[in-house]
């Protein structure tokens, strides 16, 4: 029903109409993490976005083979293993396990396959041997280098010019390289470092080669989508193109898709600034749903800023959504036997179509969320005037469908709203028990018509940022920012 899915391609720097190489099937490879530490929220931006892209392709009717790899051999892993007096494989196994624990909290489906570099060493060796045979690579001092000059399209993804790159490298010339921009495919391992026997001696693969090899082994020499963070465009993805296309003589990935970074308080997260937020600590301080919501509320190609103010605003937004969901749920429970008297309902059909159209236009999630809030507003208004089981059911169905794609809105509303309020309360000078006690006192004052006292309690709470609202189901409270 929807066609002409537009997806931005970093290769052409344009939105293009998506057309898979094989009809009905999408082969997607996304570069995963180097597993030597807990992942930060920036790594999770890619995971959460590419899950949505996969879901959207499936909605469009494609069967998606989605590969997300683990880099389990690398200098940082080796350094950590030496610091901790462990094997590199112990470090990588531990952090794959830790990553999988964090990933589970997101409650989104896994990739189709999660290959590890060290399971593909034989394939990597044979891939490199073939590149040497084809004269795209050369050996010097037990190290194999890729010869960038031999691949004439080098720089096509990043838009970098070979001459500029060479002049930029003048100061740090590696004597073994024929050309300063040549990069390592295989390097020798020192005796205490992990290594594998190869035609060039005991060693280990460079970083870029593993993705070319695993993509080739699991998906073939031509894939539909290659994804990752924007920081991977150069040199990692540029080098993957050079390796894969030199090998096959064909275009490697049809669409290159890159997500932007996360900043914290308008600063780039970096080790030196010490402002890297681990996904795990964010999810335990706030909630995985808040992380998913924040990441998806901004378009994937825009930079996303995390600040306390934005985090709190997101929590308030989620409370708004879940409060409406709870209202609809409760009404349906109450009126389960009520007859549907206008079964040709379509209160939110147009809104749903706008959501689909927005996703179909380069996964434009800000428009999706604008529509989500429009639906919440409409529902609240309808419900004020005319309570109707069909409206409630259609409202829930809207959230089921949209939430299924986004990986959101499946929490149990009542419990989740309380959880979100408790997060907000942490910053206020008041506890849940105190609020409940004050509401009780106020109820008593109201019963004996002591409105002076009841107003005092209400105003006192408001000063502390707690707003009371009297409803037919008793007094409800909410946190104001
Ligand atoms: Zn990669």
Same domain? 340 vs 395: yes
* 172 belongs to a structural domain: no
Q: What is the pLDDT of residues 93-110, one digit of tens each?
A: 999 999 999 999 999 999
Q: Output the CA 265–ligand 1 centroid distance in Å.
A: 29
Dihedrals φ, ψ of 193, to 5°?
-95, 155
How many whole angstroms from 151 Cα to the centroid of ligand 1? 19
Same domain for 225 and 84, yes or no, is: yes
135 CA → ligand 1 middle, Å: 23
In a domain, 176, yes or no: no
Q: How confident is the model at residue 335 (pLDDT cuts 50, 70, 90)?
A: confident
CA of 310 to the centre of ligand 1 (A): 31
How far, in Å, from the CA of 43 to the mean position of ligand 1?
13
pLDDT digits (tens, 9 = 90+) for 112-139: 999 999 999 999 999 999 999 999 999 9
pLDDT of residue 170: 58
What does the pLDDT look like over 249-266, one tens digit per residue? Answer: 999 999 999 999 998 887
Residue 171 tokens read as: 């100061």
Q: Distance, CA 208 to ligand 1 centroid (Å)?
A: 6
Mark whether 23 and 99 lie in a shared domain: yes
154 part of a folded domain: no
Structure tokens at 2: 């929807």
Question: How far apart are the CA of 318 and the centre of ligand 1, in A?
Answer: 34
In a domain, 146, yes or no: no
Indicate whether 235 and 372 sit together in one domain: no
Do 92 and 227 share a domain, yes or no? yes
Distance CA 463, CA 451 (A): 18
How remote is the CA of residue 227 from the centroid of ligand 1, in Å? 9
CATH of residue 73: 3.40.50.620
Residue 278, number of CB atoms within 10 A of its CB? 16
Any domain includes 197? no
Could you tell me the pTM of the whole model? 0.95
Is the confidence at residue 475, as pLDDT, over 60? yes
Ligand 1 centroid–CA 237 distance in Å is 7
pLDDT reported for residue 403: 98
Tell me how far the alpha carbon of residue 2 lies from the centroid of ligand 1, in angstroms: 31
Do 41 and 124 share a structural domain? yes
341 with 245, same domain: the answer is: no
CATH number for the domain spanning 390: value is: 1.10.730
**Whether the Cβ atoms of residue 275 and residue 264 lie closer than 8 Å to each other:** yes
Rounded distance from Cα 132 to ligand 1 centre (Å): 21
**pLDDT score of 238 more than 90:** yes
- Is residue 48 domain-shared with residue 123, that is, in the same domain? yes
The Cα-based distances of 466 to 214, 413, 429, 434, 479 in angstroms read 54, 20, 10, 11, 5
Identify the residue whose tokens are 């990597």. Answer: 124
Name the CA dihedral angle for 97, 102, 103, 104, rounded to a multiple of 10 degrees: 90
Residue with tokens 């880099």: 71
Residues 232 and 309 both lie in one domain: no
Query: Among 367, 398, 417, where does a domain finish?
Result: 417
Q: pLDDT tens digits for 285-297?
A: 999 999 999 999 9
Question: How far away, in angstroms, is 71 Cα from ligand 1 center?
Answer: 8
Establish if 276 belongs to a structural domain: no
Is residue 124 in some structural domain?
yes
Domain region containing 65: 6-137+206-259
Q: 379 and 475: one domain?
A: no
Distance from residue 238's CA to the centre of ligand 1 (Å): 10
Kindly give the distance from the C-alpha atom of residue 273 to the centroid of ligand 1, in angstroms, as a whole number.
26
pLDDT in tens, 372-395: 999 999 999 998 888 888 899 999
Q: 15: CA distance to ligand 1 center in Å?
A: 23
Sequence-distant (6+) residues with CB within 8 A of 170 are: 180
pLDDT of residue 411: 98
3-state secondary structure 235-283: HHHHHHHHHHHHHHCCCCEEEEEEECCEEECCEECCCCCCCCCEHHHHH
Q: Is residue 278 part of a domain?
A: no
- Cα(231) to centroid(ligand 1), Å: 11
Regarding whether 43 and 17 lie in a shared domain, the answer is: yes
Residues 113 and 19 grouped into a single domain: yes
- Distance from Cα 111 to the centre of ligand 1, integer Å: 15
User: Based on the structure, what is the number of domains in the chain?
Assistant: 3
């Amino acid at each position: 029903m929807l066609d002409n899915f537009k997806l931005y391609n970093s290769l052409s720097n344009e939105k293009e109409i998506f057309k898979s190489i094989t009809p009905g099937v999408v082969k997607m490879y996304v570069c995963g993490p180097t597993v030597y530490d807990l992942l930060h929220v920036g790594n999770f931006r890619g995971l959460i976005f590419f899950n949505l892209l996969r879901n959207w392709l499936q909605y469009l009717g494609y069967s998606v083979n989605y590969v997300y790899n683990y880099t389990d051999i690398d200098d940082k892993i080796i350094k950590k293993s030496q610091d901790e007096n462990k094997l590199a494989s112990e470090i990588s196994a531990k952090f794959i396990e830790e990553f999988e624990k964090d990933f589970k909290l997101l409650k989104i489906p896994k990739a189709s396959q999660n290959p590890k570099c060290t399971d593909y060493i034989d394939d990597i060796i044979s891939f490199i041997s073939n590149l040497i045979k084809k004269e795209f690579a050369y050996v010097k001092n037990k190290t194999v280098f890729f010869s960038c000059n031999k691949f004439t399209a080098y720089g096509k993804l990043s838009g970098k010019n070979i001459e500029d790159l060479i002049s930029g490298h003048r100061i740090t010339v590696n004597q073994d390289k024929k050309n300063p921009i040549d990069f390592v495919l295989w390097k020798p391992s020192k005796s205490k470092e992990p290594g594998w026997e190869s035609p060039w001696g005991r060693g280990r693969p460079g970083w870029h080669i593993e993705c070319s090899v695993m993509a080739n082994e699991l998906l073939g020499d031509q894939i539909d989508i290659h994804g990752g963070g924007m920081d991977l465009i150069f040199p990692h993805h540029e080098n993957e193109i050079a390796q894969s296309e030199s090998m096959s003589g064909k275009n490697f990935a049809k669409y290159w898709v890159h997500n932007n970074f996360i900043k914290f308080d308008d600063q780039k997260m970096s080790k030196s600034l010490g402002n890297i937020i681990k996904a795990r600590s964010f999810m335990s301080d706030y909630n995985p749903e808040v992380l998913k919501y924040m990441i998806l509320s901004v378009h994937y190609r825009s930079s996303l800023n995390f600040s306390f103010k934005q985090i709190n605003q997101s929590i308030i937004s989620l409370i708004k959504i879940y409060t409406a969901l709870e209202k609809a749920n409760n009404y349906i429970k109450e009126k389960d036997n009520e007859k549907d008297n206008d079964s040709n309902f379509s209160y939110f059909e147009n809104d749903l179509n706008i959501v689909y159209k927005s996703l179909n236009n380069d996964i434009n999630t800000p428009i999706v969320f604008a529509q989500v809030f429009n639906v919440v507003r409409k529902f609240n208004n309808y419900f004020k005037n005319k309570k109707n089981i069909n409206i409630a059911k259609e409202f829930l169905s809207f959230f089921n469908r949209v939430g299924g794609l986004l990986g959101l809105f499946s929490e149990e509303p009542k419990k989740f709203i309380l959880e979100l309020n408790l997060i907000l309360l942490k910053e206020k000078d008041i506890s849940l028990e105190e609020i409940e006690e004050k509401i009780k006192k106020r109820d008593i004052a109201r019963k004996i018509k002591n409105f002076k006292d009841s107003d005092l309690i209400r105003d006192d709470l408001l000063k502390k940022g707690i707003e009371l609202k009297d409803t037919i189901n008793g007094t409800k409270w909410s946190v104001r920012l």
